[in-house]
Amino acid sequence: MAFVYHRTVYLRDTDGAGVVYFLNFLAICHEAYEESLAAAGVPLEVLPGSRGVVMPVVYTQADFRRPLFCGDHLEVTALPRAVSSTEYELVYTVRRQGAEPVVSRALTRHVCIDPGSRQRQDLPPALLDWLARWGEPHQTSPAAAP
Amino acid sequence: MAFVYHRTVYLRDTDGAGVVYFLNFLAICHEAYEESLAAAGVPLEVLPGSRGVVMPVVYTQADFRRPLFCGDHLEVTALPRAVSSTEYELVYTVRRQGAEPVVSRALTRHVCIDPGSRQRQDLPPALLDWLARWGEPHQTSPAAAP
Amino acid sequence: MAFVYHRTVYLRDTDGAGVVYFLNFLAICHEAYEESLAAAGVPLEVLPGSRGVVMPVVYTQADFRRPLFCGDHLEVTALPRAVSSTEYELVYTVRRQGAEPVVSRALTRHVCIDPGSRQRQDLPPALLDWLARWGEPHQTSPAAAP
Amino acid sequence: MAFVYHRTVYLRDTDGAGVVYFLNFLAICHEAYEESLAAAGVPLEVLPGSRGVVMPVVYTQADFRRPLFCGDHLEVTALPRAVSSTEYELVYTVRRQGAEPVVSRALTRHVCIDPGSRQRQDLPPALLDWLARWGEPHQTSPAAAP
């Protein structure tokens, strides 16, 4: 049920060691997250002046098990789930297309806030729909805590 | 005949002014260039130890006529042409999908060099094929000079 | 009189070819521009909700004459000048510290606009002071056009 | 004893939400790591053809407690420690200069490998010196595991 995203590795993703720079694994995962929102019709409301909520990342972690090279074709699965009434997280799995071994596993946790006051807000209905479409059932247990 | 590349604008492409950071227009254009090479079966030989040639950018220019926002869907056309036996360049046109006005025009010029000696090399056959597929006929006139 | 900025090349600036990715030369030049504003006490008003003006880049160009490597120490000079009552540009020269040859020359041209209407605005006094401090005398001739 | 690094937040570090993009906290931390190596005279041997070892990041985590804005002045402390004969990690603390509250805490774990075979290598003497200078005493206990 998770969202699947395909992405080529570009030269800019790599660094002088000849492999993808560690942060760019996470950047690619965040693209998968944004595409999963778009596929569910949820706009990413990012402008400071936007009404409604913004959902900044408050925690991330990732491991990097195998090197990736320029030109590699990646398949990223993104699995979102709610972790409280105001927070959700996504677990990402990165593989080369058609290859079994996991290249990287990553996680981002997001909090819904009002962009003006920066106070926590409940997950709005559009995000609950997105979670229902791509994610696991709503859980309020702290099982996902790092 | 030019190569056409579609790309969503991601949050990382934007900056604190709420629009795409000027360099990320060029980064997106360079992705179009890499995809045009891949579509013609030309590997981007980038590793310092690679045989053959590398093709670093030696000159770039771009204008930015309209702001782009997170979530915009872009259509980038990339038109390559040889400018000498050792150099080629690409002209990029960025538009929003389905919209006429040009958002940005950009150019990158590349020189083929030996990655060890950094001496100029003739365009290898694979690049000539790529130019024949996506680009304009070979020209040695300096018409493309900035 | 130009502003001088020192910067180390970091791993993230390099790409899989073992050298600085072409856009990161320009990113480093833009840092020099931001530091020159800060040194003159001019805040970079970037938020869409900010009063006053924002100064997006509307044109850039750069050449790349020599490769740069991770760990290199750079000296960037940034020389601003007005090109009209609403536009200014900066010319950047990148060298390795203590070395004569120019590694890169770059240019960014900026237009002052109202962040809401995106209409052109005259250069505000703070920017005129900055130009007087680091730049060349005010010119309204189009001599700087590409 | 930890290494201290000062850094201004640049426009490129921010995103369309008006604050620093989450990954750029980590990019800034990695700069602190690179500067700590340089301050101890340890070259970052990153080229695939380099003799000796390369030290890719195999794990990272970070939290983001407060937003950062363009122009903010940061103070990053980087505290390295060995976690085995072949691995080390750094713990980073990001604050605004002169301000007490922690903005972000981050961690990167690195493994020494041969760049050709990608097999694990013991920490070379230069890295042991660097650990002795900026870090905590050598520990082989798994206390630092996530």
Q: What is the mean pLDDT of chain C?
A: 88
Judged by phi (left if over 0) then psi (alpha if -120 to 50, else beta), residue B17 lies in alpha
Task: Inform me whether the pLDDT recorded for C124 exceeds 80.
Answer: yes
Would you put residue A12 in left (φ > 0), alpha (ψ -120 to 50) or beta? alpha
**D129 flagged as catalytic:** no
- Give the count of domains, chain D: 1
Number of other residues whose CB lies within 10 A of the CB of residue D145: 9
Q: Is the pLDDT higher at D143 or at D51?
A: D51
* Token pair belonging to B70: 């997170």
CA–CA dist D33, A59 (Å, integer): 20
* Residue A146 resides in a domain: no
Q: A28, B11 in Cβ contact below 8 A?
A: no
Task: Enumerate the residues of chain A whose CB falls inside 8 A of the CB of residue C12.
Answer: 15, 21, 23
Chain B residue with the nearest C-alpha to that of A55 = B11
Residues forming a β-bridge with D120 = D113
The token duo for D76 is: 């990053």
CA distance D27 to chain B (A): 13
The complex scores an ipTM of 0.89
C53 or D49, greater pLDDT: C53
pLDDT beyond 70 at D115: yes
Q: Where are the alpha helices (DSSP H) in chain A?
A: 22-39, 125-134
Per-residue pLDDT at D141: 45
Give the CATH number, domain containing residue D7.
3.10.129.10
Of residues A55 and C46, more confidence is placed in A55
Alpha-carbon dihedral sign for residues C66, C71, C77, C82: positive
Rounded CA-CA distance D140/B41 in Å is 48
pLDDT bucket at A42, cuts 50 / 70 / 90: confident
Tell me how far CA of residue B12 lies from CA of A10, A51, C83, C145, in angstroms: 15, 21, 31, 31
Q: How high is the pLDDT of residue A76?
A: 98
Report the share of chain A in percent with pLDDT over 70. Answer: 87
* Amino acid identity for residue A80 in this structure: P
**CA-based nearest residue to C90, from C112, C109, C74:** C109
Residue D1, burial from CB neighbour count under 10 angstroms (0-12, 13-18, 19+): exposed
Q: What is the pLDDT of residue B50?
A: 56
Q: Which residues of B touch C69 (CB under 8 A)?
A: none
Residue C109: band (very low, low, confident or very high) from pLDDT cuts 50, 70, 90: very high
Residue B140: pLDDT over 50: no
- Reported confidence tier of residue C110, pLDDT bands at 50, 70, 90: very high
Mean pLDDT of chain B: 88
The minimal CB distance from C16 to the residues A14, A23, A48 is found for A14
Partner-chain contact D63 A64, CB within 8 Å: no
- pTM of the shown model: 0.91
pLDDT number for residue D144: 42
What SS3 string covers chain C? CCEEEEEECCHHHECCCCCECHHHHHHHHHHHHHHHHHHCCCCCCCCCCCCCCECCEEEEEEEECCCCCCCCEEEEEEEEEECCCCEEEEEEEEEECCCCCEEEEEEEEEECECCCCCCECCCCHHHHHHHHHHCCCCCCCHHHCC
Residue pairs spanning B and C at CB distance below 8 A: 75
- Model pLDDT for residues C54-95, shown as the tens digit of each residue: 899 999 999 999 999 999 999 999 999 999 999 999 999 999
Q: Which residues pair with A8 in a beta bridge?
A: A73
Query: Which residue would you say has higher pLDDT here, D125 or B104?
Result: B104
Cβ-based burial of D26 (10 A; exposed 0-12, middle 13-18, buried ≥19): buried
Contact between residue C136 and residue C81 where contact means Cβ atoms under 8 Å apart: yes
Residue C107 belongs to what domain range?
3-144
C93, amino acid identity: T
Read off the pLDDT of residues B103-137 as tens digits, 9 standing for 90 and up: 999 999 999 998 778 899 999 888 999 999 988 65
Angle between helices D22-39 and D125-134 (to 10 degrees): 110
Mean pLDDT of D16-23: 92
- Using pLDDT thresholds of 50, 70 and 90, give the confidence band for residue B84: very high
| CB-nearest partner of B18 from C16, C48, C64 | C48
Give the pLDDT band (50/70/90) at residue A41.
Answer: confident
pLDDT above 50 for C117: yes
Length of chain B, in residues? 146
For the segment C33-53, the average pLDDT, to the nearest whole number, is 77
Place of tokens 């290859």: A99
Using CA of residue C116, residue C121, residue C125, residue C129, what is the dihedral sign?
positive
Residue A141 has pLDDT above 80, yes or no: no
Candidates D22, D46, D65, D110, partner chain A, best to mutate (most A CBs within 10 A):
D22
Mean pLDDT of A91-106: 96
More confident residue, C38 or B135: C38
Average per-residue pLDDT for chain D: 88
Mean pLDDT of B75-100: 96
Closest C-alpha to B34, from B17, B14, B55, B60:
B55
Partner-chain contact B17 D23, CB within 8 Å? no
Does residue C50 carry a pLDDT above 80? Answer: no
Confidence of residue B145 (pLDDT cuts 50, 70, 90): very low
Q: Which of B121-125, C139-143, D2-6, D14-18 has the highest mean pLDDT?
A: D2-6
If pLDDT is split at 50, 70 and 90, which confidence band does B7 have?
Answer: very high
